[in-house]
Homo-oligomer: A and B are copies of this chain.
Amino acid sequence: MAEKVVLHYFNGRGKMETIRWLLTVAEVDFDEVHLTTREQYEKLLSDGSLMFQQVPMVEIDGMRLVQTKAILNYIAEKYNLHGQNLKDRVLINMYSEGLIDLMEMIMILPFSTDVEAKLKNIQTKAKERYLPVFEKALSGPIYLVGGKLSCADVELLECTLMLEEKFPGILADFPNIKSFQGRMTRIPAISRFLQPGSKRKPQPDEAYVKTVMEVFNVKLPLP
């Protein structure tokens, strides 16, 4: 029997949250080891667990995987969430890269200066650059690519929920995305993940930011 999947990261969203979402949709159960001290991180460094000295790190199938996108691709491919052929896959990857770009802009906010200007920039980019692409792609189809659920759908759901936390009503002009959200949240695994007490993490707070800074031994604001 395969060992249980173990996620090594902070007790917060960051770069791990999309991995949690994808495992959830793939119905893969996982445990988490939360980094809370510099010593824990140094132990991972010294025992060679982190290829490039970075987290997220995921123990799965006897491997210690690093690099968020490499991990996401592995899970997507293994659990048939990565398209049926080369052309579907490249489209899924294009959507996925765009959504991760947008989510990363939100992810770094707690570590940033000039947050108001950055929020405004994110809102503009979301409304003018990203959401129109997905609104158009969903004018008819149930899923983004090939009539089949893929990692891009999961990332679009995660991303739009994150956007709504920051900008309530941002989907008002995007009815196809709004119905897509409705359909996605009725998938049983997702419905459970959205309920209190699940492994889904809340928005980052001061304690999260403080832990990240201490573990990585860096100071705010980041360069």
Contact = CB atoms under 8 A, between A and B. Distances in A.
Contacts of A93: 67, 69-70, 73-74
B52 A65 contact: no
A52 B130 contact: yes
Interface stretch (A22-30, A82-90, A180-188): A82-90
A67 B155 CA distance: 16
B70 A97 contact: yes
Interface string A51-89: 111000000010101111111011001100000001101
Contacts of A53: 129
Contacts of A51: 94, 98, 133
Contacts of A68: 97
A89 B73 CA distance: 9
A130 B68 CA distance: 17
Interface residues of A, number: 29
A97 B69 contact: yes
Contact of A86 (B66, B74, B90): B74
Given A69-B69, A93-B70, A52 B98 contact: yes
B129 A67 contact: no
List of 8 A-B pairs having minimum Cβ-Cβ separation, nearest first: A70-B93, A67-B97, A74-B90, A70-B94, A52-B98, A67-B94, A53-B129, A70-B97
Given A65-B90, A73-B93, 15 more contacts: A52-B101, A52-B130, A52-B133, A53-B129, A63-B90, A67-B93, A67-B97, A69-B69, A70-B94, A71-B90, A73-B89, A73-B90, A77-B86, A77-B89, A78-B86
